Amino acid sequence: MVLKNQGRSHEEYIPQLRKGFDLSNKVSEWERYHIQGVYHAVCGELEEAIPIFEALIRRYPDDHWGYSWLEGLYRGTGRAEKLVPLVVRRAELRPNHGGYNFHAAHTLIYRQGDLAKAHTFVEKALKSMSPETQPPHHTAWAPFLDLFPFFKHWIEGEIDSASEKLTRAERLIPLESDQMRESYRLSLGSAYLALGKLKKAEGIFGALTGSTAQVYGRKQSEFRPRIRVRCLTIGPFMRADEEAFRRVLAEELGDQSAPGLLTVMLMARLGVLSEARNALRFLEDEERAPKPLIQLARAELALAEGDTETAIAIFRRQLSMLDTRGPTFFVSSESLAMALEQQGDPEAALRVLDSASEQRTRGYVASAAFWLQNEWQRARLNRVLGREDEATQIETELRGLLALADSDHPLLQLLSQQEKGAQTLSLQDKTGR
């Protein structure tokens, strides 16, 4: 493994691993598990490696390296459902390891939405991590941990406290690291979107620079525009401002690159269809984007082009396969609901949104603003179906969550229109008109 970690060629280190594998029956049981498991894993024989490492941690339940290998193997073979107990146990074995505690908290939230249990690991991670101990390539750790208090208060509807925690987190942006500043800006901008402060979020997103690319492990020339465009088009999308949306695309991309898949989906929703088709073809040719997300973008285009049946079929199939709850999940859920309503089935549309609503915690900060959009649609559909009490309850919660939002926030305007309409209807009932 030393040769592999040094970047040596496959031809140099595989024969060495093979020698160890052939001699593994002459060493201790613990060493044999490791040698054989590592050999199969490095050779790409993941299915052979998994039972070996599973046997290792059953036999030696305190071997944290076995848990680390299994985490990678489970991710590589699509066994996401097995990750939570694995990373939690690993963190428990190494309570002072910042990275293990971070991964436990991260996995508990994104896989199970378990804020209460994640809280314990967040606190341990914060205590054990510092600029000196945090690896520089893990620049997502600090903002994730520092924004946890904000998110917890936001989930509980304690908006003043959430805003206070967010202001405090904003003061923590490190000045010495370009990459860390970028990571904080991405998270802070998303948090301000959750509070309905679109203008503040756009100001933060506008400060993003090319260092973002390093956070995500991409080459700057390839990835920088996509990060900025994704962030800067969210505001125009939420305002349904096609002109501003197109302006961002023109200023940030020109004719040199294509936006990312989330942006392509938003383009289709806003009716920027020709550009969306071209961008999707470009991304398909790259053969780098996740296939389920490519399919969801195709579904958005199909819906925008009037092929509702195709869109519904793709949305249903791909949403059932997604194991994360990022912004694309909530955008696609809303689009599926719209398609079902167009086909005259508001009950089915509401079931989609009810299901998405329950995934609020798993989306964490990045998805919060898109969850709010879904909630408005959920309230509207309840009202369409004559469920006034349910609609009113959702609208009341939305008003609370947007208590500090920009006065011209699109959802606030819709809520105000709904309230005025309800008052008018109430007056008509009283007067008999």
Render pLDDT for 151-190 as a digit per residue (tens, 0 to 9): 999 999 999 999 999 999 988 776 656 777 888 899 999 9
Rg (C-alpha) for the chain, rounded Å, is: 24
- pTM of the full structure: 0.84
Terminal Cα-to-Cα distance of the chain (whole angstroms) = 82
6 pLDDT more than 60: no
Q: Once rounded to an integer, what is the mean pLDDT over residues 256-271?
A: 90
Q: Average pLDDT, stretch 218-234?
A: 71
Asked if the model's pLDDT at residue 133 lies above 60, the reply is: no
Per the CB < 8 A criterion, the answer to whether 371 and 360 are in contact is yes
Share of the chain above pLDDT 90, in %: 54
By C-alpha distance, which of 216, 208, 215, 210 is closest to 232?
Answer: 208
Q: What is the pLDDT of residue 18?
A: 65
The answer to whether residue 431 scores a pLDDT higher than 90 is no
* Model confidence pLDDT, tens digit, residues 17-40: 666 666 667 778 888 877 778 878
Looking at residue 386, its pLDDT comes to 95
| pLDDT surpasses 90 at 263 | yes
Q: Residue 71: its pLDDT value, please?
A: 82
Confidence of residue 346 (pLDDT cuts 50, 70, 90): very high
Residue 393's identity, in one-letter code, is: Q
Lowest mean pLDDT segment, chosen from 48-52, 131-135, 166-170, 227-231: 131-135
Tell me the percentage of the chain whose pLDDT exceeds 70: 83
Residue with tokens 């489970």: 74
Nearest Cα to 160, choosing from 191, 186, 195? 195
In this prediction, residue 3 has a pLDDT band, given cuts at 50, 70 and 90, of: very low
**Residue pLDDT, tens place only, 353-387:** 999 999 999 999 999 999 999 999 999 999 999 99
Q: How far apart are CA 8 and CA 2, in angstroms?
A: 9
Q: What is the mean pLDDT of residues 3-17?
A: 52
Higher-pLDDT residue of 58, 199? 199
Residue 395's CB: how many other CB atoms inside 10 A?
A: 23
Write the CA distances from 158 to 151, 197, 312, 350, integer angstroms.
10, 16, 37, 27
- CA-to-CA distance for 319 and 340, rounded, in angstroms? 15
User: What pLDDT does residue 371 have?
Assistant: 98
Beta-carbon contacts of residue 287 (< 8 Å; ≥ 6 apart): none
| DSSP letter string, 312-373 | HHHHHHHHHH--S-SHHHHHHHHHHHHHHHHTT-HHHHHHHHHHHHTTHHHHHHHHHHHHHH
Mean per-residue pLDDT for 74-92?
A: 85
DSSP letter string, 171-185:
TT--SS-HHHHHHHH
Please give the residue that has the higher pLDDT: either 233 or 289: 233
- pLDDT bucket at 80, cuts 50 / 70 / 90: confident
SS3 content of the chain, % helix, strand, coil (to 5): 75, 0, 25
What confidence tier does 426 reach under pLDDT thresholds 50, 70, 90? very low
- Give the residue from 291, 307, 304 showing the smallest Cα distance to 331: 304
Residue 432 falls in which region: left (phi positive, over 0), alpha (psi -120 to 50) or beta:
left
pLDDT of 215 above 60: no
- The closest alpha carbon to 332, from 348, 342, 317, 347, belongs to 317
Crossing angle for the helix pair 83-93 and 64-76, to the nearest 10 degrees: 160
| pLDDT, greater one: 316 or 138 | 316
Residues 6+ positions from 292 with CB-CB distance below 8 Å: 318, 321, 322
